[in-house]
């Protein structure tokens, strides 16, 4: 564990020194992400001009939810997403070779090697907005409830990562350039909507099959509303199953890895 922590510190150091070299990209990314945040917030603000409640939440509550998924997104963008971008190419071009021969988990290496120093500032902004919505939230909440929200959001990051991985792992067989990751990005917007707006089979899709609603909406609901075990257990069990599925298919993929010849 300590060794992995040390390795991660190296990753951080490399990423920051690399990012400093490309300053234009640095500012560009910050501006892009800021626009993304503002669009997301305004989208819901506009809706609340027409209705006082949406999916059972007031505007103030909904902003906690928006801040939650923006935070999950920022964490994902900063720590994980660059790695997900490279992974299919590594698999196809045979660049996994050097990760597989090291006495370290290749999954750890391939998932966390690229830290996006460029997105780090955005993570601070997202965290700032998240804190702001909680500070201004008019209902009182306990420290324990806050801790639960944070834990569930971290779980949301892990789940979000698992879904991405499950879309990428088929590359071991298809050798396509991106796997099903486009599906992930097309459906990913489901994460940015309160889960209650989905009913019937669509609800099953987003809470079980592609559980985007569990990433931020379920945690926000458990925090904003009365805690209920059913929602919590649903969230916990689907998350666990997805984690195990991801590990299972990852191992299966490695078995099938043919390593493009040099």
User: H or E stretch including 58?
Assistant: strand 57-58
First to last CA, the chain: 34
- CB of 17 or CB of 151, closer to other proteins: 17
Go through 224-249 and write b for each residue having 16 or more CB atoms within 10 A of its CB, e for each that does not: beeeeeebbebbeebbeebbeebeeb
127's CB contacts (< 8 A; 6+ apart) are 71, 74
- CB of 102 or CB of 226, closer to other proteins: 102
The C-alpha angle 86, 92, 95, rounded to 5 degrees, equals 65
Go through the chain and tell me how many residues it has.
262
- CB of 114 or CB of 195, closer to other proteins: 114
- Residues 67, 126 contacting (CB under 8 angstroms): yes
Q: How far is the CB of 261 from other proteins (least distance, A)?
A: 6
Q: How far is the CB of 134 from other proteins (least distance, A)?
A: 38
Q: How far is the CB of 99 from other proteins (least distance, A)?
A: 9
Q: How far is the CB of 82 from other proteins (least distance, A)?
A: 13
- CB of 13 or CB of 204, closer to other proteins: 13
Q: Under the rule (CB under 8 A), what is the footprint of other proteins?
A: 3, 6-7, 10, 13-14, 17-18, 94-98, 100-104, 255, 257-259, 261-262
- CB of 22 or CB of 227, closer to other proteins: 22
Written as six digits, the tokens of 162 are 């698992």
Q: How far is the CB of 114 from other proteins (least distance, A)?
A: 11
**What backbone torsions phi and psi does residue 110 show, to the nearest 5 degrees?**
-75, -25
Written as six digits, the tokens of 143 are 């420290």
- CB of 10 or CB of 204, closer to other proteins: 10
Q: How far is the CB of 182 from other proteins (least distance, A)?
A: 19
């Amino acid at each position: 564990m300590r060794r992995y922590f040390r390795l991660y510190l190296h990753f951080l150091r490399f990423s920051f020194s690399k990012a400093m070299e490309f300053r234009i990209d640095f500012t560009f990314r910050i501006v892009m992400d800021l626009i993304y945040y503002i669009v997301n917030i305004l989208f819901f603000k506009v809706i609340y001009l027409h209705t006082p409640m949406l999916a059972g939440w007031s505007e103030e509550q909904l902003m906690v939810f928006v801040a939650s998924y923006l935070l999950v997104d920022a964490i994902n963008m900063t720590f994980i997403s660059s790695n997900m971008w490279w992974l299919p190419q590594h698999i196809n071009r045979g660049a996994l070779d050097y990760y597989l021969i090291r006495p370290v988990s290749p999954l750890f290496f391939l998932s966390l090697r690229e830290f996006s120093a460029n997105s780090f500032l955005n993570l601070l902004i997202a965290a700032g907005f998240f804190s702001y919505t909680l500070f201004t939230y008019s209902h009182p909440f306990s420290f324990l409830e806050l801790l639960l929200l944070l834990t569930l959001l971290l779980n949301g990051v892990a789940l979000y990562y698992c879904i991405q991985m499950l879309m990428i792992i088929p590359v071991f067989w298809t050798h396509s350039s991106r796997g099903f990751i486009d599906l992930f990005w097309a459906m990913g917007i489901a994460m940015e909507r309160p889960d209650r707006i989905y009913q019937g089979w669509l609800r099953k899709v987003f809470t079980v099959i592609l559980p985007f609603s569990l990433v931020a909406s379920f945690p926000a609901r458990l925090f904003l509303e009365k805690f209920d075990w059913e929602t919590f257990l649903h969230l916990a069990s689907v998350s666990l199953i997805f984690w195990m599925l991801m590990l299972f298919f990852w191992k299966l993929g490695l078995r099938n890895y043919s390593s493009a010849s040099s």
